[in-house]
A and B are shown apart, each in its own frame.
Chain A
Amino acid sequence: MPELEPAGKSFAHIRECSACARLLAQQRALRAGLKSLAKEQAGAEPPARLETALLQEFRRQTHAWRGRPAMPVRETKTAWWLRWPAWASAAAVTAALVLLLAGGRVGNKHAPSGSTAAEAETASYLDSGFVPLPYASVSSLGTEPDLVRLEMPRSALVTLGVPGAADVTGDSVEAEVLLGDGGVPEAVRLVE
């Protein structure tokens, strides 16, 4: 509380006025008391059982989420015309995907059949560093997902939580996108 300290000629008044001197003494006592209280409670931590309980809940929730798309952090709802930069970026990415698809499909094709094979395929992609895109259904990857490589804004990958994206320098980075049925982007990973 530095603002409670007398300045300049106020010292003279404090010496003469017992009411102000008393008030100043009270303020100083209050300041000392609050400082001690702050010091005393600086070590106050929540009990360890709280962390354990939260982790248990986290695991329960994660188990419930499994097989569903990753839950995104909600975005602010703004009018579409106010979001034109994001809209334009999305259009650019889509155009790039279409061009790449027109230019030919990239490898990584396998030919197992049946839903178990598709699930195993999906799991193998997720294990290899692909992050499911928000609202994407990784089950729609099927057994023959297409893989395309393209440049994306680094910030978009960071927002999607792609591992390592935050550490990359530069505004755009090379990423690999897995396309599901109908050419819909389903998962993305950073090209190292």
Chain B
Amino acid sequence: MTVPETDAELLVRSRQGDESAFLLLYRRLESPLYRFALNMTGSPASAEDITQEAFLALLREDCGYQPERGTLSAYLFGIARKLVLRHQDRNRPYVELELGDTEWQYPERAAGPDPMREILEREALELLRRAVVSLPRRYREVVVLCDLQEIDYAEAADLLGCPVGTVRSRLHRARALLLEKLQPRREPRPDPNTWNTARSLI
């Protein structure tokens, strides 16, 4: 049985001019990287630029990837994170949520097709997407990786270069922030102590 080549082995072959190795490497890593950039910036054009820049970094003569320091995937995500930061510096990071007077709700599941439910769901998802994009970067990263890309905590910790415990605590705080952001403006912001009390009960 042939063992699939690791990303690092494919990179070595790519840098020796093997186009098929580069193509295989790109196809292996493009989707998670693109989705990460898309969720972090909320912009398909920026996500495309970031993905392209990250892969171009592998082709540069001064490519700084060191296999001893971590996976190639983590290296690419590291580049993407820096590019996201640069993107934020250029663009206004704050996304205003216009919730009106109604509380954000995600519609209950219906037994059959329900056009009204679909409309409500689309609206709710759009608000949620904007709430995610408006989170501070370190909280947005964990929501994007763990909740939206469904990557486990250990892998997210590897990609972000932090301990698993940090991923867990940031995720907890990020979800609380999301709920806070999705509250209608007229209501007073929930007291973080209330959240903690309720959280400890469940």
Interface of A is mostly: helix
Interface set, chain B 1-16, CB cutoff 8 A to A: 2-3, 5, 8-9, 11-16
Contact A40 B198 (CB under 8 A): no
Contact B26 A30 (CB under 8 A): no
A100: chain B residues within 8 A (beta carbon): none
Proximity bits, B122-148, A CB within 8 Å = 1, else 0: 001100110010000000000100011
Contact A45 B31 (CB under 8 A): yes
Contact B198 A20 (CB under 8 A): yes
| A interface bracket (residues with beta carbon within 8 Å of B) | 35 or more
A127: chain B residues within 8 A (beta carbon): none
Contact B65 A74 (CB under 8 A): yes
Check if A41 is an interface residue, CB within 8 A of chain B.
yes
> Known contacts A37-B148, A38-B150, A58-B19: does B202 contact A5 (CB below 8 Å)?
yes
Contact A33 B55 (CB under 8 A): no
Interface of B is mostly: helix
Contact B202 A161 (CB under 8 A): no
Contact B179 A46 (CB under 8 A): no
Interface set, chain A 14-45, CB cutoff 8 A to B: 14, 17, 19-20, 23-24, 26-27, 29-30, 32-34, 36-38, 40-41, 44-45
CB distance from B36 to the nearest CB of A (A): 10
Stretch with Cβ within 8 A of B (4 or more), from A49-57, A106-114, A171-179: A49-57
A24: chain B residues within 8 A (beta carbon): 198, 202
A-B contact pairs, 16 of them (CB 8 A): A27-B179, A30-B128, A36-B121, A36-B125, A38-B148, A50-B48, A58-B59, A71-B15, A72-B12, A72-B15, A73-B11, A73-B65, A74-B66, A76-B66, A161-B15, A166-B3
**Given A37-B148, A131-B16, 20 other A-B contacts at CB below 8 A?**
A10-B201, A14-B201, A27-B179, A33-B124, A33-B128, A34-B148, A45-B30, A45-B34, A46-B51, A51-B30, A62-B17, A70-B16, A70-B17, A71-B16, A73-B15, A74-B64, A75-B66, A76-B68, A76-B69, A161-B12
